[in-house]
Chain A
């Protein structure tokens, strides 16, 4: 069994998703090669080599930043040389964008959002949530290579291996169609939208608001509560779609997957698609006027009240308790 892990690492750091991705790959048997399309520091390369049999750092003109056609062209070349059975990627935007295309180019089959991986008769089996979290499916990928992006952050990091793998720097030159299509798309600006001091995915405390808040102003009230708790703010899709808060705040199936110690859902009904984003939260609680709101089925404790009557006094009480 030959596996490849593609580390896009937009931050060029050996971060939590990278560690999780490698752990996911090491859970499978066989030969493991890490491919990094782009420049990374020696520290990072060494950390990668601690997890794999070999690391290939690719260099090509323009590869210092992610551009879809270029990175895809490079990966196609390097991967097809290795003739892998499995290719794994993390769950970032770029990895999600590349996964089906790389499968298409390598003549394989693709899947996304893998929560666990298993080998069965040499085929990769992927467990994933479907129907907006209302069901779980196990799918078997029967064509080679199986190209899959995984929920990298959900895998616990693995310790480095006893002996480090080899490190190779490879100069890649695209030719033919791949070279011609490189300029078809170009990312010309990159903007970060701050969601607080740390990334939502890494937050330990989250206060989230939903459609029941009725507008953008109550999110300001929730902000005061969040500040007192030292929590970060998040939202349901309904609140983001309404334009009350940035879409980067969205938690759920098509938003962030968070794993805080505490998630406070205020005026969020708890649709299965929203719950998919908080499956890894330790403690969930909610403030909602509707005792039958599905969110309460996922709460350890909850408060059936109008948020308007609660948030102000609650903030004051917590300020006193936490000072």
Chain B
């Protein structure tokens, strides 16, 4: 099975709010001392692909659209034994929406060849749009299933498990197919071995510019204008906590219990 995994590099989403700053004019987050990391759901997707390849023969291609720094995400994927990696280089000064991203990813995928399964994360941990997968499916004219957390090959298709807000569903699907991957206890990303990280530095990464994909800057820009960020601000801080104090832990538990009880009784 030929699998393509789309990886997005983002600002580390786990930095504490006090270290998070924005530029209100440009409506962008400021990187500051934060690291750039691969979006967790993209890592879940890669992990799902790796497990699928362990069960049945396959080949994994990692694809990212981003600034030169995004090559790190691809190197990590190679260290985890992705077979090949491709970077579509982007001007870091421009911000994009999911529609332009899908346009660019689709063009890159067409140029890379034919794939059976195209995987994206359920959403990116920065803007959390959750739109790219569905838009990419439409760009490629393929069917789409969202929130998948497990994939088995079955005959000439696949069987998927996907999460719903109430539980889960089993989905049978033909290939080629686009899926978005969500986290589960099964697809927690593995950690690359030090040796493999060193080896990955020597592997080659295909690097393309938009013009290599037959896309013009104008085309990408006009697509991007369909959705514009008009404001970005930090939500107001919440009030202080009233810590329960007491001479003994019993006293504290007693007071805590009383407060809970009165809320429970009036709820």
List CB contacts (< 8 Å) of B137-187 with chain A: 137-139, 141, 143-147, 149, 162-174, 177, 182-185
Q: Which parts of A250-292 form the interface with B (CB within 8 Å)?
A: 253-254, 256, 261-262, 264, 271-273, 283, 285, 287, 291
Contacts of B263 in A (CB 8 A): 261-262, 283
* CB nearest neighbor in B for A295: B241
Are B128's CB and A191's CB within 8 A? no
Any chain B CB within 8 A of the CB of A163? no
Judge whether B232 and A301 touch: CB under 8 Å.
no
Per-residue interface assignment for chain A, residues 294 to 314, with 1 indicating a CB less than 8 Å from any chain B CB and 0 otherwise: 101111111111000110011
Which single residue of chain B is at the shortest CB-CB distance from A102? B134
> Is B134 within 8 A of A140, CB to CB?
no
Return chain A residues, CB-CB under 8 Å to B199. none
Number of interface residues of B (CB under 8 A): 91
Residues from chain A with a CB closer than 8 A to the CB of B22 are 135
> A97 contacts which chain B residues (CB < 8 A)?
134, 144-147
Which of A93, A181, A322 contacts B143 (CB under 8 A)?
A: A181
When the two chains form their complex, are residues A132 and B128 in contact, meaning their CB atoms are under 8 A apart?
A: yes
**What residues on B are CB-neighbors of A140 within 8 Å?**
227-230
19 A-B pairs with CB atoms under 8 Å apart are: A92-B165, A93-B162, A100-B132, A103-B135, A104-B138, A128-B128, A135-B233, A136-B232, A137-B127, A141-B227, A181-B143, A186-B171, A188-B172, A191-B169, A192-B166, A193-B167, A300-B242, A303-B243, A318-B261
Chain A residues within CB distance 8 Å of chain B: 68-69, 92-94, 96-101, 103-105, 109-113, 125, 128-143, 177, 181, 183-193, 199, 204-205, 229-231, 237, 240-243, 247-248, 253-254, 256, 261-262, 264, 271-273, 283, 285, 287, 291, 294, 296-305, 309-310, 313-314, 317-318, 321-322
Complex Cα spacing A192 to B12, Å: 34
CB-CB under 8 A from A248, the residues of chain B are: 163, 165-167
Cα separation A287 to B122 with both chains bound (whole Å): 31
- Distance (Å) between the CB of A258 and the closest chain B CB? 12
Residue in B13, B130, B225, B242 whose beta carbon sits within 8 Å of that of A302 in the complex = B242
Any A CB within 8 A of the CB of B259: yes
Given A318-B260, A321-B261, residue A96 in contact with residue B146 (CB < 8 A): yes
Q: Which of B86-94, B206-214, B245-253 contacts A (4 or more CB under 8 A)?
A: B245-253
A205/B226 in contact, CB under 8 A:
no
- B203 cross-chain contacts in A, Cβ below 8 A: none
Measured in the bound complex, the distance between the Cα atoms of B162 and A97 in whole Å is: 11
**What is the CA–CA distance of A98 and B135 in the complex, to the nearest angstrom?**
10
A131 in contact with B13 (CB, 8 Å): yes
**B-chain residues with CB within 8 Å of residue A110 when the two chains form the complex:** 98-99, 131, 134-135
Does residue B66 face the partner (Cβ distance < 8 Å to A)? no
Whether A193 and B166, one on each chain, are in contact in the complex, defined by CB atoms closer than 8 angstroms, is yes
- With the chains together, A294 CA to B257 CA distance in Å? 22
| A105:B138 contact, CB within 8 angstroms | yes
A141 and B226 contact, Cβ closer than 8 Å, known pairs A97-B134, A113-B130, A247-B163: yes
